[in-house]
Amino acid sequence: MGRVVKLGSLTADMVVQAILSPVSTQWWGSSWSFFDAQRHETDGVSYVSAKLSKFNPEGEVIIADMETRQEVIQAEPNLRVASSTFIYIPEVSGIAFTKVYNHIDENHFAARFSDIVEATHLGFFLECHVKLITDLRTFAQKLRSLEKIVKISAAVHPPNPLFGPLWKPLKDYIDARRSEKMVVTEEATKEKPLTTQLPEHVERAAEQTAQSPYVPDEPLPIGDAAILMAADGYGDGTVKGIRDTETIVIKTSETIKNFSVDSDSSIIEAFRIAYEAFKQIEQDRHMEH
């Protein structure tokens, strides 16, 4: 699960247009594009489904020639290598996609999706990014295992339309500055580590329910707020710490929020599960418009 972050002149409608009528892009000898795109509306919510496909423009296949009893190599242009089915829901700026082992992992999907959207619109004063949503419980467990935190860094983008109350002051600051990206880095030494309650903040945020929000006594420090903002799908965050004298690096993108669907599920069934998951995140994290 991720968020589609739109910068510059890019809008949700333009993302939809790019999915429906995309160009192809090249990366490391393979071509990538969207296929089988369709508009849908289910339970009053509009969304788009499609496949992000990796294909070989100069593909070859081996066929058996029954007359000569020889295996023959035959050219097969645009031979598909792998496809990841995805659903884009503009209402929540959300995207849910399937992982294809050894071919399309989370980082591949995010990068190639963004490339195609930008290339379709000629990259004219716009940027598209897919930022993965962090599973806060798993992230909190990893942070809790650190004895010291020596570095916090995050690159965050202004959200649209949702924001989280734990990082609202940071969001308001970014809005007031008219910034499209903010980079935060705090670094210390092993002897004098950072003074931060980030593991506690993340753990308390993970324990929130729709009925029981986490409301800290004071606004979160900028570095902590930026990590939580990234964890909600609006950037990338990294925490470096010490565990048993070993240096450990934990990224928000490594503990991804996900869900399962049956392989024979319809697009409508997959959408309903994905949409419910996005709305549950909103409720549990008390995100607002």
Give the model confidence (pLDDT) of 76-104 as tens digits.
777 889 999 999 999 999 999 999 998 99
For 184-196, what is the mean pLDDT?
Answer: 97
Taking 80 as the threshold, does the pLDDT of residue 220 lie above it? Answer: yes
Q: Which amino acid is present at 76? A: E
Q: What's residue 264's pLDDT?
A: 86
Element at 44 (helix H, strand E): none
- Tell me, what DSSP letter sits at residue 90? G
> Do residues 142 and 237 make contact, with C-beta atoms less than 8 angstroms apart?
no
Q: What is the pLDDT of residues 15-55, one digit of tens each?
A: 999 999 999 999 988 999 999 999 999 999 999 999 999 99
Q: Rounded to an integer, what distance in angstroms lies between the CA atom of residue 148 and that of residue 189?
A: 10
Contacts of residue 171, Cβ cutoff 8 Å, sequence gap at least 6: 158, 159, 163, 229
- Residue 224's alpha-carbon distances to 17, 74, 78, 227, in angstroms, are 36, 56, 46, 5
pLDDT of residue 277: 95
- How far apart, in Å, are the Cα atoms of 245 and each of 92, 139, 146, 190? 42, 21, 10, 9
Quote the pLDDT of residue 210: 82
In this structure, are residues 205 and 166 in contact, taking their beta carbons and an 8 Å threshold?
Answer: yes
Q: Which residue type is seen at 213?
A: P
Q: What is the residue-averaged pLDDT of the chain?
A: 93
Is the pLDDT at 275 greater than 80, yes or no?
yes
Instruction: Kindly report each contact of residues 18-24 with a partner whose C-beta sits within 8 Å and lies 24 or more positions away, as own/partner.
Output: 18/116, 18/117, 18/120, 18/121, 19/48, 19/50, 19/88, 19/117, 20/48, 20/50, 21/120, 22/116, 22/117, 22/120, 23/116, 23/119, 23/120, 24/116
User: How sure is the predictor about 289, in pLDDT bands with cuts at 50, 70 and 90?
Assistant: confident
> What are the tokens at 229?
């903002």
Q: Which secondary structure element, helix H or strand E, spans residue 15, and what is its range? A: helix 12-20
Query: What are the CB-based long-range contacts (under 8 Å, 24+) for 98-104?
Result: 103/54, 104/52, 104/54
The predicted structure's pLDDT at residue 59? 66
Give one word for 48, left, alpha or beta, with left for phi > 0 and alpha for psi -120 to 50. beta
Give percent above pLDDT 70 in the chain: 98
Report the half-sphere exposure of 98 (CA within 13 A, side-chain side).
Answer: 20
Q: How many angstroms separate the Cα of 254 from the Cα of each of 107, 142, 257?
A: 10, 11, 10
DSSP state of 133: P
CB 81 within 8 A of CB 90: no
Residue 75: which pLDDT band, with cuts at 50, 70 and 90?
low
